[in-house]
Amino acid sequence: MQIIQKITPCLWFDNQAEEAANFYISIFNNSEIGRITRYGKEGHEIHGKPAGTVMTVEFKLDGQAFTALNGGPIFKFSEATSFQVHCGTQEEVDYYWEKLSEGGDEKAQQCGWLKDKYGLSWQVIPKLLSEFLSDPDSEKSQRAMKAMLQMKKIDIKKIKRAYVGQSTA
């Protein structure tokens, strides 16, 4: 029996839904393309898409279900919505940062955030960052925050050094 996820993010693309889904599944393990639906003649006066072109692509990234929609150029992604990639090691941070930022907007990179080539925002962050930033010892948490604010891609060693009060140089 297939369990249906109760909430599934739907990502609105102009016409790159299938391309984007294939890009994302190439990055994350345990990922796959599911059902693809296509526009028909019905509703052409509203959607304006030629019959047979991709309308939606269902896909999973590391087991998380998503839908990509070719809805046209009306709506664009913004930083108001992003996806967090929680990483256990610097190697994971480096891998996801490199893959997701390929072809993206370099000006939109800061504090672990990046924008991919489709304009979708991602946060590539080490799992320990939340722990450090929420530490009740405000001196430790503020040192970690100060170090993070100076980074694009998060450097775990530098964050750890700042957190314990060592030089990050």
Are both 10-70 and 82-164 of the same fold?
no
pLDDT at 169: 65
Token look-up 């750890």 returns 160
DSSP 30-50: S-EEEEEEE--STTHHHH-PP
* C-alpha distances in Å from residue 52, one per residue of 17, 18, 40, 101, 103: 14, 13, 6, 31, 29
Which of 17-31, 40-54, 116-130, 140-154 is predicted with the least confidence, judged by mean pLDDT?
40-54
pLDDT tens-place string over residues 68-112: 999 999 999 999 999 999 999 999 999 999 999 999 999 889 999
pLDDT grade for 45, boundaries at 50, 70 and 90: confident
**Assigned fold of 10-70:** 3.30.720
pLDDT grade for 59, boundaries at 50, 70 and 90: very high
Beta-bridged to residue 69, according to DSSP, are 12, 56
Domain 82-164, CATH number (from 2.40.40.20, 3.10.180.10, 3.90.105.10, 3.40.47.10): 3.10.180.10
**Domain boundaries of the chain, sorted by first residue:** 10-70, 82-164
Q: What's the start-to-end Cα distance of the chain, in Å?
A: 54
Query: In sequence order, what are the residues at sequence separation of 6 or more whose Cβ sits closer than 8 angstroms to the Cβ of residue 73?
Result: 14
Distance separating alpha carbons of residues 43 and 94, to the nearest angstrom? 44
pLDDT at 15: 95
pLDDT surpasses 70 at 115: yes
Distance separating alpha carbons of residues 104 and 20, to the nearest angstrom? 13
Mean pLDDT within 31-50? 91
